Structure 1
Amino acid sequence: MSQTLVPPAAPLTEPAARATALTKVYGKGETQVTALDSVSVEFARARFTAVMGPSGSGKSTLMHCMAGLDPVTSGSARIGDVELASLNDRQLTQLRREKVGFVFQGFNLLPTLTALENMTLPLRLAGRQPDAAWLDTVVATVGLAGRLAHRPSQLSGGQQQRIAVARALVSRPEIVFADEPTGNLDSRSGAEVLGFLRDSVRELGQTVVMVTHDPVAAAHADRVVFLADGRLVDELHAPTADRVLDRMLAFEAQGRRTG
């Protein structure tokens, strides 16, 4: 691992992101659905948080609202000290470009570009040059220095997703949101990507929020928060796969009793 370089950030007492009484409602009248119901949660800097819950619990909606991809109905969503609802479309686009990284199930790599070109594409689109020292650090963390000239078709699924995670880190965002980043990977490739996310937190001082349904994936995090029916119902620190699975099974059993 090369020298650790911690991204510039607000004071450590300020969380990287925070939701306060966040509510998200889709539709109106008889078709109205409350996806998030007054959720309050903080995501600490330089920590890896997993968000879990049954299907339809609101975990992806929470991530989309916190990342500024979806407006909130009421309550507050902040990145650092910036209230997302106070921004116009241009300001929101700029904030997402400069302070937020995204990783999704689909690798979303351009097939005609090399791994390195894919990693630096968001910066080039923004008219910025990558910081050379930071890029070297991210490349070292990826562990694919010998593959940077390869195109996506020449890389395994795990390698492609690690490039996608690296792309999210190269702009030095305050926070990275990952939505089921191992969902399309086999167990070995998934472990590679989870290890990389873990290293980005431990070695690079990155903040990561990951939505997952997999207790093994969640066990890589420092903390797991659990949603059910659009509400924050529990959290677990220093998780293990067994402890996460036990909590999930308990929530499912409770849902069957109250359903």
Structure 2
Amino acid sequence: MTADPLALHALHPTTGIAAATTDLSKVYGSGDTQVVALDRVGIAFREGEFTAIMGPSGCGKSTLMHCAAGLDSPTSGSVRIGTTELSTLNDRQLTELRRDRIGFIFQAFNLLPTLTALENITLPLAIAGRRPDRQWLDRVVSMVGLSRRLDHRPAQLSGGQQQRVAVARALVSRPAIIFGDEPTGNLDSRAGAEVLGFLRDSVRELGQTVVMVTHDPVAAGYADRVVFLSDGHLVDEMTRPTPDRVLDVMKNFDTRSRTS
């Protein structure tokens, strides 16, 4: 799977590409301690689609997401957000691109404890010196069910509510793409299902593009597509996933790791 991912566009001619990698490699260390985290990975994330990235521990899931989001630099290969090649940007331009065109949701909620929910949601805009689009802000806040919690600080919110704030914060600037790294990892099953439902709704109702790293087959079942990594390579892909189908693929990884 090292072909140019933009060739996939021929299969979806009405859909643009929100982000893509071509021959993406990431190597840590050298000599006897060298670790190849990603080996010539080519993948495209289509606009208005929810993609889950799965695979066994240490397969390169988070490394792929971090490189695709401009949080880490690849050893070789190409990363694009839309038509922008990240390697052509200086540090300031890369910071601005991440701020303006990419949303992030992490396992740790990363909220500032002294700010209210509303202030945490609008913080990226405030840093950029931009006023929120009030109509869009109201729509996002309503979608994640926070209308009555905007004056509360994080300590006054449950874990699920804090992650809803993080989801709204990621959506408020209308980014080209949202990356989530185990966004429900710190939540119980009910709160996790709520957050995944909000991400699903953001794709369906707002046209958002979402890429999520997860180890949970149930979480992957909310996605339109699941891609599977193993030992730094893309090895499989599934559309219209269900938790049972995803679990069957993951069991094959477990079987191979025990027999290798």
| In structure 2, distance between residues paired with 1:229 and 1:12 | 33
Matched, 1:158 2:160: yes
Of the three residues 120, 140, 157, the one matched with 1:118 is 120
Conservation of the 8 A alpha-carbon contact between 1:14 and 1:81: no
Aligned twin of 1:247: 249
Aligned twin of 2:227: 225
1:164-203 counterparts in 2 under 5 A?
Answer: 164-203=166-205
Of the three residues 61, 64, 87, the one matched with 2:63 is 61
Aligned length, in residue pairs: 248
Q: Percent identity?
A: 72
Aligned twin of 1:97: 99
Deviation of 1:143 after TM superposition, in Å, equals 1.2
Aligned twin of 1:35: 37
1:36-74 CA-partner distances (Å, limit 9, x unpaired): 001011101011000000000000000000000000111
1:110-147 CA-partner distances (Å, limit 9, x unpaired): 11111101000111011111111111111111111011
| In structure 1, distance between residues paired with 2:113 and 2:26 | 36
| In structure 1, distance between residues paired with 2:26 and 2:146 | 40
| In structure 2, distance between residues paired with 1:199 and 1:158 | 16
| In structure 2, distance between residues paired with 1:12 and 1:170 | 26
| In structure 2, distance between residues paired with 1:219 and 1:124 | 35
Point out 4+ residue stretches in structure 1 off by more than 6 angstroms: none
Moved more, 48-57 or 27-36: 27-36
- Equivalent position SS for 2:122: helix
| In structure 2, distance between residues paired with 1:85 and 1:255 | 35
Aligned twin of 2:240: 238
Aligned twin of 2:51: 49
Do the aligned partners of residues 215 and 67 (structure 1) sit closer, same or farther apart at CA in structure 2, a change above 3 Å counting? same
TM (norm. structure 1) is 0.94
Q: CA RMSD in A?
A: 1.0
- Equivalent position SS for 2:246: helix
Deviation of 1:13 after TM superposition, in Å, equals 3.9
Of the three residues 121, 133, 136, the one matched with 1:134 is 136
1:49-106 CA-partner distances (Å, limit 9, x unpaired): 0000000000000000000000011111110001111111011001001100000000
| In structure 2, distance between residues paired with 1:36 and 1:14 | 25
Do the aligned partners of residues 12 and 141 (structure 1) sit closer, same or farther apart at CA in structure 2, a change above 3 Å counting? farther
Conservation of the 8 A alpha-carbon contact between 1:12 and 1:45: no
TM (norm. structure 2) is 0.93
Q: Which runs of 5+ in 1 are unaligned?
A: 1-10
